[in-house]
Amino acid sequence: MAASLVDKVMKGGGFWPAAPAFLYLVVFFIMPMAVLLAFGFVPIQRGTVQSANFTLEYLFDVLTDDLFWRVWWRSFYVGVLSTFFCFLFAYPLAYIHTLVGRRLQMVILILTVAPLLTSALVRTYAWLVILGGRRGVVNAVLMDLGLVSRPLRMLYSDFAVIVGMVQIHLPFMILPLITVLSSRDRKLEHASLGLGASRVRTFFRIVLPMSMPGIIAGTTIVFALSYTNFIIPQLLGGGGYTTVAVQVYEFIVVILDWNKGAILALLLLVSCFLFVLMITLAGNRMMRWTEAKA
Amino acid sequence: MPIEVADINKHFGKLHVLRDCSLSIRDGETITLLGASGCGKTTLLRCIAGFETPSSGKVVLGGEDVTRLPPNQRGVGFVFQNYALFPHMTVAENLAYGLRVRRADRSTRKAKVEEALALVSLTEFADRYPQSLSGGQQQRVAIARALVLRPKVLLLDEAFNALDAKLRVAMQIELRKIVKQVGITTICVTHDQTEALTISDRIAVMSKGQIDQFATPTEIYDTPTTAYVADFIGAANVLPAELAAKLPSLGARGSREDRMIVIRPENLTVRPTKGSEPLAGTIAFARITGPSVEYEVEAAERKLRVLVSRADHDMLDIGTPVALDVDKADACVAVSGSVEGSA
Ligand SMILES: Nc1ncnc2c1ncn2[C@@H]1O[C@H](COP(=O)(O)OP(=O)(O)OP(=O)(O)O)[C@@H](O)[C@H]1O
Ligand SMILES: [Mg+2]
């Protein structure tokens, strides 16, 4: 019996090789998640379930609350803008990476990956120091140069949050773009030039559409990370700055209202999933050609 | 449009890929670059198209020096060795791409694309993506994509190699018609010598980055200038002059020491012998090729190919001792160089 199971696993085929990973995910990820989400639908006080009566009351409360929608809107535009600026900075860099020599490629790659070696929390604190108050790096330089007379207020704003998000999530955009761009067939660009197209046209008609798989990978990752991040808005956005993710944290850890926290977590998760799905579907529409492999 | 290639050299790092290549091609002419794999055919073609900048030398198209001009300003049609079709566009969109660049309006585009598709018999594949086509179909799309623009100069890098024999001939004939009708100056690259002999007005034989000979197919066949050319086009026996001098009818003709003598198999004769001959050998292999017999004769430690008509000749068995001679001494040419390293 045991031997035959081992046999099945070793010989591969179908589901069996994935069984250990699957088991792990069910026990340590899906079950806790389900329990947490279930908390949104039964009354809980001080961490104990009061009764097993299923109720939509909490969900209804949240969805009819204006405040929730304002907070959600902030989560959304922070996510969208961070993704947009990440793409804007990452694409040219990834493209340049494919044009330069081996050595510069290494430099770009190392500079891209290096930030991942420190924790995101540490980097968020670093942004506090850079953007913060009158003695922050940026203000100090600007004032020393006499460009401004009073320190600029940069911290605790959308600006600070988005700057932090973009810097911290940039590698996740750059890496898939480098992968897809460096494996592209340069002959196609030659063919386009040979047919009379300008370099600009060749870029927009050939290079950009062909890098769609990398663009989709990068944008979904960065959007999901930015939309659900709660450390960066909390630290760089300051006390009054809330996003849905920050609220989940506050309701569950600070206020101890698990019902509302669970509902918010559920909404965050489901909406994030929907957005990722939308990006992927839109991307796939633009990539119908990849299905044509003979 | 006439093409003038003057003393082109191309280096890739330390690699010297093209050495003093010069070609002067007349308007409307079709020429073929022929040579072993890796000898620089594609590189020379890419220099002419502008995808590669020569290290030195000039490319002149229709009187204009285009050496420094980017490919999109040369108006040269190019069919790539591995097609380079745009995978994210359908066959029809691939063909329309160059027309869009030229701002052709919708109806013109449609008409021209349909015409080009019909030409390569791919009308029913218009809306398919290139990856779902066979190699030969992709190749035809690549040819059509270049032809639809009616370029003045067309460069084809092994544009027929994925086609089956029948289709290949049909495509070559079609292409030749268009090329003549529109007056396109064409440079083809191929490994296939029969293809080269059938489609080209002149052939340039390349070896190791050099153009060995640039002449008409008959000149290349009858009077090759190097041993490499002789060996590459058609079968040839290339003998050192002092050995060739032992052939009775050839005698001392051209027996200067540094030269090699090219003797085509159909110009060699064999007859059975018992006595000692100046150049004798034994039949190592015999093969009937329709109206003639092809022998492989071992003589003077080398293998010679002999092609004789069966009409006036009884077939000889393997192992028969034979004496060798030539039919026409005039048809044997002296060349420079050796054949080592060539097939
Ligand atoms: N971009 C490049 N960088 C370095 N070396 C190159 C480059 N392109 C070609 N070469 C070298 O130049 C030589 C000639 O290449 P080329 O592609 O012109 O040969 P070819 O005659 O077209 O061969 P084939 O018949 O196999 O297509 C080869 O030795 C090749 O390795
Ligand atoms: Mg080649």
CATH number (domain holding residue A235): 1.10.3720.10
CB-based contact (8 Å) between B289 and chain A? no
Q: Do B131 and A292 touch (CB under 8 A)?
A: yes
**Model confidence band, residue B313 (pLDDT cutoffs 50, 70, 90):** confident
pLDDT for res B288 = 85
Q: Cβ B128–A292 below 8 Å, yes or no?
A: yes
Higher-confidence residue of A51 and B141: namely B141
pLDDT in tens, B110-126: 999 999 999 888 999 99
Question: Which chain A residue shows the shortest CA-CA distance from B78?
Answer: A194
Q: Does B26 touch chain A (CB under 8 A)?
A: no
Residue A74 placed within a domain = yes
Q: Would the CB of B37 count as within 6 Å of ligand 1? A: yes
Q: Nearest-CA neighbor of B144 among B166, B122, B167, B161? A: B122
Residue A38 in any domain: the answer is no
Q: H helices within B106-226, ranges in order? A: 106-119, 135-147, 165-182, 193-199, 217-222
The answer on pLDDT for B311 being more than 90 is no
DSSP assignment, residue B5?
Answer: E
Higher pLDDT, B87 or A150: B87
Instruction: Indicate if ligand 1 lies below 6 Å from the C-beta of B38.
Output: yes
Q: Which pLDDT score is estimated for B341? A: 40
Q: Which pLDDT does position B130 carry in this prediction?
A: 92
Q: Give the residue among A85, B317, B190 at the shortest CA–CA distance from B171.
A: B190
Count how many domains chain A has. Answer: 1
Closest ligand 1 atom to residue B15 Cα is 5
Q: What are phi and psi of B215, to 5 degrees?
A: -160, 180
Compute the distance between CA of residue B28 and CA of residue B181 in angstroms, rounded to an integer.
Answer: 9
Q: Does residue A29 fall inside a structural domain?
A: no
B51 three-state secondary structure: coil
Residue A184: CB atoms within 10 A of its CB come to: 15
pLDDT beyond 50 at A294: no
Q: Which ligand is nearest to the CA of B80?
A: 2
Cβ within 8 Å, pair B77-A289: no
- Using DSSP's 3-state secondary structure scheme, residue B21 falls into strand
Which tokens in the block code for residue B115? 């015409």
> Given the CA of residue B43, which atom of ligand 1 is nearest to it?
18
Nearest by CB: B131 against A201, A206, A293: A293
Of A190, A196, A287, the CB nearest to B102: A196
Is A40 a member of any domain?
Answer: no
Q: What is the dihedral of CA B221, B222, B226, B228, to 10 degrees?
A: 30
Residue A42 domain-assigned?
A: no
Nearest to B73 by CA among B50, B100, B43: B50
Label the pairing between strands B153-157 and B202-207. Answer: unpaired
Residue nearest to atom 19 of ligand 1 (CA): B38
Residue A166 maps to a domain:
yes
Give A30's DSSP letter: I
Arithmetic mean of pLDDT, B270-295: 82
Query: Domain range spanning residue A157?
Result: 55-287
- What ipTM was reported for this prediction? 0.79
Length of chain B in terms of residues written: 343
For chain A, report the end-to-end CA distance as a whole number of angstroms. 42
Alpha helices, H only, B189-305: 193-199, 217-222, 227-232, 241-244
A114: in domain: yes
pLDDT score of B342: 37
- Tokens representing A51? 């009764």
**A274 vs A169, A268, A288, B78, CA distance in Å?**
20, 10, 21, 46
Cross-sheet strand order for the sheet of B292-299: B268-272, B321-326, B280-289, B292-299, B302-309
CB pairs under 8 A between A and B: 76
Question: Which of these, B85, B77, B91, B62, lies nearest to A195 by C-alpha position?
Answer: B77
pLDDT tens digit sequence for B78-105: 999 888 999 999 999 999 999 999 998 9
Asked whether residue A70 is domain-assigned, the answer is yes
Of the candidate ranges A6-20, A91-105, A227-241, the one whose mean pLDDT is the lowest: A6-20
Q: What is the mean pLDDT of chain A?
A: 89
Q: How many angstroms separate the CA of residue A207 from the nearest CA in chain B?
A: 10
Average pLDDT over all residues of chain B = 86
Show Cβ contacts of residue A173 under 8 Å, excluding neighbours closer than 6 positions.
A83, A86, A87, A89, A90, A218, A219, A221, A222
Res. B248 pLDDT band, cuts 50 70 90? confident
